[in-house]
Amino acid sequence: MAPNSKHGADTTVLRKFGINEAYQLAMYILDQYRGTILSCRYEIPPRLAPAESQARLEEAVKFAVVGTIMRHPMLQVGMTDATSKSPSWIQLPSLDLTQHIKWVQVDGDFEETVQEAFRTQLDDRFPDFSVQLPNWRVTVFRQGNAPFMEVVLTWNHPQFDGAGAKVFHEDFLELLNADNGACARTGLDGNILRLPQAPPMLPIPIEGLKKMPVDLRYLSKVFWEEIRPSVLNRDKSLATWCPIRTSPYKTQFRSFSINHESLHAVLTLCRQNGTTITGLIHGLALLAFSLHLHSKAAPAFQSSTVMDHRRNLPPAQPDAPWGSSDRAVSNYVTQAVHKYDTGLVARIRSKMPGGVTGEGKLLSADLISELWDASAQTRSEISSRLESGLRNDLVGIFKFVTDWQKTMGDMAKRKRQFSWLVTNIGVMNGGGDIGSDLDAVQRWSISRAQFGLSAEIPAAAIEFSPSASPAAGCVSVRTGRTAPSM
C-alpha cells in the first residue's frame, strides 16, 4: 500500500484490525481492560552473571529482543484511527528501544519488588494513541550479580494474545542462546532500530484464515439473548452476585506456585481422572464458589475457557518470518462456555460439611468424586469445541458487530455472565536447548513463568491464569475492585 499522508510519509497502513483485535481495543479505550503480563525467571549463564559483565548482559538482551522483533511483525507496528470504528495497523520506520526495554536494579527484596511491579504494570496504561508505538514493553529486574533475572513482558491485548507472549519468551530464549549479535546489529544504531522499508507481512486475522460458519439456530439463540429484556432472562447461572461496576478501576491480583514434583503429581491425577489442569481449575472453582456463595445469591454458575485455535489454522505462508502457524505472535483465541446447573450445584452444597460453613475441612470422598466428574466434563467440553473447529464460534457471531465501543459499553450495563474464567498458556519451553550448541552450564534457561491479566470489567468476576515452566507451575488469580468481595 502507498504511504498514508495523513500519518506522514514514513507510515503505511497495512491492514484493518481483525475481530479479536478490535474487540480488545474497544475494551482498552473504554477503560474496561488495561494490560496483560507474562513474566519469566531467566537463569543467566556463568559467563554473563558477574557484576563486571553487566554491560555484556544488557547487550545480549537487547540483541535477542531485536531478533524477536524482526521475527514477529506484530511487535513492529503501531495503530492509527484507534478510536474510530475502523482502526488499522500501520508500518513504522523505526523503534526507539528505550521505549520498549527497561532495566531495574533491585536493592531490596527481589521477589517482593517483582510482584509489586507485576501488580502495578497490570493497571498501567500505554502511551496516547497519537504516539504511534507498538503497545508492548519489557522490564528486566536484576539484583547485583545474582545468577538470574526476571523479564516482565507487558502488552496491550490487541497486539497479541497470551499464546503469542509465550512464543515471544521462547523465541527470545532461543536467540539468547544463539548469541548472534552480528545479525541483531543489522539496522540497529545505538538504541534506534531501523525497520525494513518493505511493508511487513502481518499475521492474517483468524476470520481471514478459516471459515467460521454459524448455524441459523445458533445465530437465532445468540440474537435473542442480545435483544430480550432483562426481565425475561431467568437464567440462574448468570453471575448476578457480582454486578458490573465500571469504576474505580483496580485489579486485585494474587498468585501461588507449586514445585515440579507437586505439579507432576497433580498432572498424574488429572490423567487418571480424564481431565487436565484447566479442567481441574474449573472443578476447584466450582467447589469454592459453591462453598463461599449462598444458594440464593448463586444457585448455578457459568464459566469460560479461553482457547488457542492455532492448531486449527492452515499452514503459514512460506515466507512468513515466524515460520509456522503455531509460532505466530497474533490474536487467535476464542472461548468455550460452561454451565453448572442448579441440580449439580445443590448436590455439591449438600455434600459439604455443615453446608457453606465447611471451610478448612478436608474434602469427603463424595466431594472429591464430584470434583473429578466436573473437571472431566469441562475438559470434554473444551475438547469438543476444539475438535469442531470454528463452527458456531462466538468470533463468527462477532463479525456482525459494526461498533465495538458501543457493544462493549452496552455489555457493561447488563448482568455479568461468568463467575470465573480460565486462560492457560500451558508449559513454557524453557530448557534453553532450542537452536543452541552450548553445553548445559553455558545455556540460558527459564525456571519460572507467571501469567496475569488486568481486570476485564464486563467479563468474568475472577480469572485464573495458570502457566508452567519445566521447573515449576504458577497460578495467578485476578479480580477487579469493581467487584464485591466473596
Sequential DSSP letters for 17-35 = --HHHHHHHHHHHTTS---
Return the bridge partners of 340, or none. 301
**What pLDDT score does 474 carry?**
83
Find the helix or strand (DSSP H, E) in which 204 lies: none
Indicate the pairing of strand 78-80 with strand 188-189.
Answer: unpaired
Q: Are 176 and 64 in contact (CB under 8 A)?
A: yes
Q: What is d(CA 453, CA 129) in angstroms, rounded to the nearest whole number?
A: 21
Q: What is d(CA 58, CA 145) in angstroms, rounded to the nearest whole number?
A: 13
Looking at domain 5-206, its CATH architecture is 2-Layer Sandwich (3.30)
**What pLDDT score does 343 carry?**
97
Axis crossing angle, helix 342-350 with helix 277-292, rounded to the nearest 10 = 70
Q: What is d(CA 390, CA 177) in angstroms, rounded to the nearest whole number?
A: 37
**What pLDDT score does 229 carry?**
72
Q: Where are the beta strands (DSSP E) in 216-374?
A: 251-259, 301-308, 333-340
**What pLDDT score does 481 carry?**
47
Q: What is d(CA 39, CA 451) in angstroms, rounded to the nearest whole number?
A: 6
Residue-level pLDDT, tens digit, the chain, 486 residues: 434 434 444 579 999 999 999 999 999 999 999 999 999 999 999 999 999 999 999 999 999 999 999 999 999 999 999 999 999 999 999 999 999 999 999 999 999 999 999 999 999 999 999 888 999 999 999 999 999 999 999 999 999 999 999 999 999 999 999 976 545 556 899 999 999 999 999 999 999 998 889 999 988 888 887 777 766 678 999 999 999 999 999 999 999 999 989 999 999 999 999 999 999 999 999 999 999 999 999 999 999 999 999 988 999 999 999 999 999 999 999 999 999 999 999 999 999 876 444 455 678 999 999 999 999 999 999 999 998 888 898 888 998 899 999 999 999 999 999 999 999 999 988 775 555 556 777 899 999 999 999 999 999 999 999 999 877 778 888 776 444 333
Q: What is d(CA 211, CA 193) in angstroms, rounded to the nearest whole number?
A: 37
| Residue ranges of domains in the chain | 5-206, 209-480
Q: Please say whether the dihedral angle defined by the alpha carbons of residues 397, 307, 207 and 451, taken in this order, is positive or negative.
A: positive
**What pLDDT score does 436 carry?**
53
Looking at domain 209-480, its CATH architecture is 2-Layer Sandwich (3.30)
Burial letters for 340-362: b for 16+ Cβ neighbours within 10 Å, e otherwise? beeebbeebbebbeeeeebeeee
Q: What is d(CA 60, CA 434) in angstroms, rounded to the nearest whole number?
A: 17
Largest CA distance in the chain: 71
Q: What is d(CA 93, CA 53) in angstroms, rounded to the nearest whole number?
A: 32
**What pLDDT score does 485 carry?**
34
Cis-peptide, bond into residue 248, ω within 30° of zero = yes
Task: Establish how many alpha carbons lie within 13 A of residue 184's alpha carbon, considering only the half-sphere containing its beta carbon.
Answer: 21
Give me 172's grid cell: 527470545
CATH topology agreement for domains 5-206 and 209-480:
yes
Q: What is d(CA 455, CA 31) in angstroms, rounded to the nearest whole number?
A: 10
- How are strands ordered across the β-sheet holding 78-80? 12-16, 88-91, 78-80
